[in-house]
Amino acid sequence: MGTDEFIAANTEAITKFAEIMMANAATLNGDRDLALEVATTELGFEPAQLENAFVQLQGDSPITAENLKKIGDLALHYEILEEAPNYEDLFFNVG
């Protein structure tokens, strides 16, 4: 998230960051052992803590208004939201 001014001034860096995060997610999604290694070396978990761990898949593609609408529809159904936002308005255009 950021202001319009910040996004306009840093479009290339923001885009590159998002691309790297999605590429890293795709790598971890495809290699459970690597994901567990990251959990121990970078996050400080002990291997014994991870013996029966569920490794959550990470988002490896951009979020879309259509994806958000699915979540919003559930939130409306369960009365978490009173009305749906305009999902397109939740995105900044970075290029």
Cβ neighbours of residue 67 closer than 8 Å, sequence gap 6 or more:
none
Would you list the domain boundaries of the chain?
1-58, 63-95
pTM: 0.69
* pLDDT-derived band at 91, boundaries 50, 70, 90: confident
| pLDDT single digits (tens) 12-44 | 999 999 999 999 999 999 999 999 999 999 999
